[in-house]
Structure 1
């Protein structure tokens, strides 16, 4: 009790001395100025000119005993800290207010913004375009397209299911998010561009039907469309394959025309023209559901020998030189419905066997080694997985990327996946489309790839 009473007396004495100092200061400067000075927070006392704090709360925070010396009240250590905190807060508030008037992102160099945008996911880039006019102009610049082509890209979506209805819906599976995604509808395409022949690098090749030559190339993300110069219509097109070069921002389309000696034609987007190259070796035709796979500069297809042993084998087309290589015979049991795939720099052949009722009995995968010219067994789909995916008769198509191979059923909309790293099979959730569909033999990765 004694200490509390003593503290109260000290506080009262200090208050009275403060009031006396204020009155003396007001009397020396005039009544009006003195009264006005009482409302100020800081005052000059006597001739010493020392600054002090009249706030009792500040004094109570840390005023030690014996603070009043020589008629001057000095600021305590606690009061100094309060002053510094207040000054710091005022400076930060001013900076925030100034930043609100001039956003910081408007001060960033354009080349720095382009480098940051190059690594953004595509949906995040679309959102960034809506921030301001500066970011919108950067988001549509040609230099950004080149930077995004050089930057690491996310894995594409696969498999891709295409609706056969007039709504032109399509969806694909994202293996990163592990869910099905509805892709941008293709309603901007003309009615004659009904069938998708091939795709790569975010671009699609289209034609009026599977039996007619390609007519258009489009980018569903940018909704851009380009009509391709017409090719000879005398023969039905065999294989159509697209190869996109991200660095040069160009693409090639390789088309074979079906007749006795299948001729090969290559379209280059930079030249906007077709060029006829070599034909297949004599007595061979492209076979195996007209499937093809591009790997390390070569386009691999399945060829069938006409006459003789009717051998089916793997044949490669050198895209740079425009020459076909020799045919390498497929192993036994791989000659029914063979598909050629490219998976992580490896060339694979997927084939199925059916019973007399047309039901699938097995699906095998083998790998072709270009150096040794041999086929190595990879795996065979387990019977329980096959029964779950292919519950009834129906078409099937495989597609691969990275270390995963997907085998999709067009009838049940189910997908079986083989992981080449874990060497195991598993099933994906069922495709959400509820209409008649077709399965694409390519992967789709959204991009800003131009059509030039």
Structure 2
């Protein structure tokens, strides 16, 4: 029966499979492999839990992935990614990782699918710059936009470099960069020096957080092309702070030295409302050292290094408003082999093994 199943029907069946099950199905025969590769990407009606991606900050060749369905860790070797690149952020719904060039050369961005091995460079920017803030807005299949703001421009005839006060946007559909706005020079300085690149898009505003004490948030309003600044609750006392999106709203998670981790949501009039606190026993075991945070709709992860336990705050089953805290065991070994501990950058992806037209 399965060998005679129409291609479109088999593809629809495959779209229900989580990534690890789809991979096994694709290994069965050539027909199933071809069908799996052409299964529609980003199928919204068959949503599977996102996978946590841990990329060692000292190497672009390794990638540890956590399968939430089976609670297992796996190792991917990113040999196709150039060595002089570092991960910036995820284009989560497309299963892609955005990388940037390192060093003092003008920024060059690239994208990679860690599961299929597809890789390509984005075109050069209109305004060559180093170390700008980078943000991502996702659209439909193979459609996303990448924004760069600030950065150091190349030295002019006088020999001195300056801060670039423009913002550019890359559209994956047109495969082009466009200058879409400008900013005050002081914003350009802070975006260049104090922004770690994590961005959140909410209510037509793209936000970045500055890591200088006290923490603050800068947002670019898409319709008006204007910038705004927000304070961060307890911004001068937090040991760490990070932005995430929750149900389309801007959320800040921050922790103090005493292990108190709180969650604030941006409400009407740009007022912050505390909506959650991590249980004290989890906070005290987590806080200390370099705590980082990454999130995607429905789940947030606080982490440190690859072999350390991670605290996850996620939506409880099908409940729209109920969330719960839990542990994820760190990656100590893969396939019986002991893993060296690494400082990592964490991302969330929705893996998809189908071919992407973007490549």
Corresponding residue for 1:196?
87
Asked whether 1:267 is paired with 2:158, we answer: no
TM-score for both structures, normalised by structure 2: 0.77
Matched residues in 2 for 1:424 and 1:363: separation? Answer: 14
Distance 2:79 2:224 in 1: 36
Q: Give the drift of 1:233.
A: 7.1
Q: Secondary structure at the match of 2:349?
A: coil
**Structure 1 Cα separation of the partners of residues 289 and 211 of structure 2:** 24
| Cross-structure match for 2:351 | 446
What is the CA–CA distance in structure 2 between the aligned matches of 1:276 and 1:233, rounded to whole Å? 9
Task: Looking at secondary structure, tell me which structure has more helix per residue.
Answer: 1
Deviation at 1:362, TM superposition (A): 3.9
Aligned match of 2:220: 317
Question: Once superposed, which parts of structure 1, at least 4 consecutive aligned residues long, lie more than 6 Å away?
Answer: none
Please give the residue correspondences for 1:174-185 in structure 2 after superposition, counting only pairs within 5 Å: 174-177=67-70, 179-185=71-77
SS of the residue 1:376 aligns to: strand
2:263 alignment counterpart: 365
Query: Aligned pair count?
Result: 329
* CA pair 361-304 structure 1, distance change in 2 beyond 3 A: closer
In the alignment, structure 1 residue 431 sits paired with structure 2 residue 331 = yes
Looking at structure 1, the residues matched to 205 and 103 of structure 2 have their Cα atoms a distance apart, in angstroms, of 24
The equivalent position to 2:31 in structure 1, one of 113, 119, 134, is 134
| 1:258 corresponds to 2:151 | yes
The Cα RMSD (Å) is 3.3
**In structure 2, how many angstroms separate the alpha carbons of the residues matched to 1:262 and 1:155?**
39
The 1:242/1:430 distance shift into structure 2, 3 A limit, reads same
Q: Unaligned 5+ residue runs, structure 1?
A: 1-103, 355-359
Quote the Cα distance in structure 2 between the aligned partners of 1:208 and 1:326: 29
In 1: Cα distance, 2:27 partner to 2:82 partner:
29
Residue 113 of structure 1 pairs with residue 14 of structure 2: no
What secondary structure is seen at the aligned counterpart in 2 of 1:230? coil
Distance 1:302 1:127, change over 3 A: closer
Unpaired segments of 5 or more residues in structure 2? 153-162, 316-320, 334-338
Structure 1 residues 275-286: aligned runs within 5 Å: 275-281=178-184, 283-284=186-187, 285-286=190-191
How far is 1:297 from its partner?
4.2
Given the alignment of the two structures, is residue 149 of structure 1 paired with residue 43 of structure 2, yes or no? yes
Q: Is the 8 A contact 1:347 1:367 kept in 2?
A: yes
Alignment equivalent of 2:292, drawn from 397, 404, 408:
397
SS at match of 2:234: coil
User: Relative contact order, CA 8 A, sep 6+: which one is greater?
Assistant: 2
Equivalence for 2:198:
291
Deviations 1:367-405 (A, max 9, x none): 112x43210013344554333224xx5212112234433
